[in-house]
C-alpha cells in the first residue's frame, strides 16, 4: 500500500510499504478520508517523531478483523480516535483525558491506503459512524471534539459574547459551536475569504485582524467579550485577547505561540478583574460522542468548510496549500481516489 511519509513540511514522500495484516485483537481499515489538521503542519510539534505518517482525522471502513475481534465486522464505517486514555490514572479520573500518562498505542497515520488498528484502539478508540455521517464529515469529528472540550472548559454558554481570533478550520468550528449555543459571536482573520466563511458559519460580526478589534467590539456589542478564543499562533492575537476580554471573562489558548516565544501577560491588571486564562489541548471520549451527535443531527454543518479534496499523491501539495493559508480551510486527502 501507499503511504505519505512526512519528514518535514517541505519533504513529504509517497512510499510503498507492505499492507499489514491484523494479528489477534487488531483490525485493518481502509482509509476513505483523512483531514489535514492545522497541527499537522506545525513543525516544532511534529518533528520529534519524524519521519512518520501523519493524519489523525479519519473516516475509515473495516476490511479485515484479526482473531478475537467481535466488536466490529468487515464493512463497518468508523471514526477512530488517534489515542485513547486509560480511564484509570489520576489524570483520567479527574477528566483530564488529554494528560493521560498511560497512553500506549497510537493510531498509525491516516495519510495511507490502510491503517492497522492496534488492539487498545479496537477495544476503546473506535466509533461507529451513523449512516448519515459521510467519511468526509467524519474527518471533522476529532477537531470538533477538541472545540467542544475547549468551550466546555471555558464555561461558554447561551447569551455570552464570544470573540474568536483566527478563522481557520478550528476558528470556524468555534464560531459554529458558539453560534449553536446562541452566543453572540465575533470573529477575526487577516484573510477576507475566511471572514466571509465566518459570517456564513454564524458569526454576528467580523473584522480584519489588523484593526482595532477592541474598539469595534465595544461599538457593536456594548461590552468586551465574555470569552476570547485564540486559534492562531500569531503573537499579535495575544495582545488583542488581553485587551478584549471582559472582567470575569476567560481567554482560551486553543493555539499557542512557538516554543521559546516570550509572552507578556498583564496579570496585575487581571487580578481584580478575575480574568481566567486557560489552555485547551485535544479532547476526551465524551467530547467525541458529542461531536458525532452534533454532526449527525445537523446541529453543526461541516460540509461548507471543505475547500479541497486531494488524492494521496497530492498530500505534499495539500500541506503547502494549508501553509499558504489563503484559500484553504479543510483539506481532505482521499487515498483511494484520483
Ligand atoms: Zn487535529
Ligand atoms: Zn489515564
User: How confident is the model at residue 243, as a pLDDT?
Assistant: 96
Helix (H, G, I), strand (E, B) or coil at 173: helix
Q: Which pLDDT does position 80 carry in this prediction?
A: 98
Give the ligand whose atoms come closest to the C-alpha of residue 285: 2
Separation of 83 CA from ligand 2 center, angstroms? 11
Burial class, 171, CB count within 10 angstroms (exposed 0-12 / middle 13-18 / buried 19+): buried
The pLDDT of 296-312, averaged and rounded, is 97
The sign one gets for the Cα dihedral 212, 213, 214, 219 is positive
Q: Which ligand is closest to the CA of 254, given by its number?
A: 1
Q: What is the sign of the dihedral through the CA atoms of 170, 171, 176 and 177?
A: positive
Residue 302 DSSP code = -
Task: Output the average pLDDT for the chain.
Answer: 96
Return the residue matching grid coordinates 445537523: 298
DSSP symbol at 203: -
User: How remote is the CA of residue 35 from the centroid of ligand 1, in Å?
Assistant: 8
pLDDT at position 104: 77
Ligand 2 center from residue 95 Cα (angstroms): 9
Note the pLDDT of residue 321.
Answer: 94
Q: From the CA of 54, how far away is ligand 1's center (Å)?
A: 10
pLDDT band at 338 (very low <50, low <70, confident <90, very high): confident
Q: Confidence class of residue 300 from pLDDT cuts 50, 70 and 90?
A: very high
Q: Where in the chain is the domain with CATH 3.90.180.10?
A: 2-144+283-334
CA of 57 to the centre of ligand 1 (A): 6
Q: For residue 20, how far is its CA from the centre of ligand 2 (angstroms)?
A: 29
pLDDT tens-digit map of 125-138? 999 999 999 999 99
Quick one: fold of 155-279? Rossmann fold (3.40.50)
Name the closest ligand to CA 34.
1
Question: Ligand 1: distance of its center to the CA of 145 in Å?
Answer: 10
pLDDT > 70: percent of the chain: 100
Q: What is the pLDDT of residue 26?
A: 98
- In angstroms, the CA 59 to CA 238 distance is 34
- Stretch(es) of the chain classified as CATH 3.40.50.720: 155-279
Superfamily of domain 2-144+283-334: Medium-chain alcohol dehydrogenases, catalytic domain (3.90.180.10)
Question: Would the CA dihedral through 294, 285, 133, 326 be positive or negative?
Answer: positive
What order of strands is seen across the sheet that includes strand 2-8? 11-16, 2-8, 52-53
- Closest listed ligand to the CA of 282: 1
Which has the closest alpha carbon to 77: 152, 127, 36, 16? 127
**pLDDT, tens digit (0-9, with 9 covering 90-100), for 227-276:** 999 999 999 999 999 999 999 999 999 999 999 999 999 999 999 999 99
Model pLDDT for residues 66-125, shown as the tens digit of each residue:
999 999 999 999 999 999 999 999 999 999 999 998 987 889 999 999 999 999 999 999
Alpha helices in the chain (DSSP H): 43-46, 90-93, 119-124, 135-138, 141-153, 169-180, 192-200, 213-221, 235-244, 267-273, 285-296, 315-324
Residues 257/280, Cβ–Cβ less than 8 Å: no
% of the chain residues with pLDDT over 90: 94
Sheet strands (E) in 94-143: 114-117, 126-128
pLDDT band of 142, cuts 50, 70, 90: very high
Q: How far is 39 from 55, CA to CA, in rounded Å?
A: 10
C-alpha of residue 106 to centroid of ligand 2, in Å:
14
Amino acid at each position: 500500500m501507499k503511504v505519505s511519509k512526512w519528514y518535514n513540511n517541505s519533504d513529504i514522500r509517497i512510499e510503498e510499504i507492505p499492507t499489514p495484516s491484523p494479528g489477534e485483537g487488531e483490525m485493518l481499515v481502509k482509509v476513505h478520508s483523512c483531514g489535514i489538521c492545522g497541527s499537522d503542519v506545525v513543525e516544532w510539534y511534529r518533528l520529534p517523531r519524524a519521519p512518520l505518517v501523519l493524519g489523525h482525522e479519519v473516516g475509515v471502513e473495516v476490511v479485515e478483523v484479526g482473531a478475537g475481534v467481535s466488536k466490529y465486522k468487515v464493512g463497518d464505517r468508523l471514526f477512530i480516535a488517534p489515542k485513547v486514555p486509560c480511564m484509570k490514572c489520576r489524570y483520567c479520573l479527574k477528566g483530564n483525558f488529554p494528560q493521560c500518562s498511560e497512553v500506549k498505542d497510537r493510531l498509525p497515520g491516516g495519510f495511507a491506503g490502510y491503517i492497522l488498528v492496534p488492539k487498545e484502539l479496537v477495544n476503546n478508540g473506535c466509533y461507529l459512524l451513523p449512516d448519515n455521517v459521510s467519511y468526509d464529515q467524519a474527518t471533522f469529528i476529532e477537531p470538533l471534539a477538541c472545540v467542544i472540550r475547549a468551550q466546555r472548559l471555558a464555561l461558554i454558554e447561551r447569551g455570552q459574547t464570544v470573540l474568536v481570533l483566527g478563522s481557520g478550520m478550528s476558528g470556524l468550528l468555534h464560531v459554529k459551536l458558539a453560534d449553536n449555543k446562541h452566543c453572540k459571536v465575533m470573529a477575526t482573520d487577516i484573510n477576507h475569504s475566511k471572514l466571509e466563511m465566518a459570517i456564513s458559519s454564524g458569526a454576528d460580526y467580523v473584522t480584519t485582524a489588523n484593526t482595532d478589534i477592541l474598539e469595534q467590539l465595544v461599538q457593536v456589542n456594548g461590552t468586551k467579550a465574555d470569552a476570547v478564543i485564540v486559534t492562531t499562533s500569531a503573537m499579535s492575537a495575544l495582545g488583542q485577547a488581553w485587551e478584549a476580554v471582559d472582567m470575569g471573562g476567560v481567554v482560551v489558548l486553543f493555539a499557542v505561540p512557538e516554543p521559546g516565544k516570550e509572552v507578556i501577560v498583564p496579570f496585575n491588571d487581571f487580578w481584580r478583574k478575575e480574568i481566567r486564562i486557560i489552555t485547551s489541548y485535544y479532547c476526551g471520549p465524551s467530547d467525541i460522542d458529542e461531536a458525532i451527535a452534533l454532526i449527525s443531527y445537523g446541529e453543526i454543518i461541516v460540509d461548507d468548510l471543505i475547500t479541497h479534496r486531494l488524492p494521496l499523491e497530492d498530500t505534499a501539495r495539500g500541506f503547502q496549500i494549508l501553509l499558504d493559508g489563503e484559500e484553504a480551510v479543510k483539506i481532505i486527502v482521499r487515498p483511494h481516489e484520483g
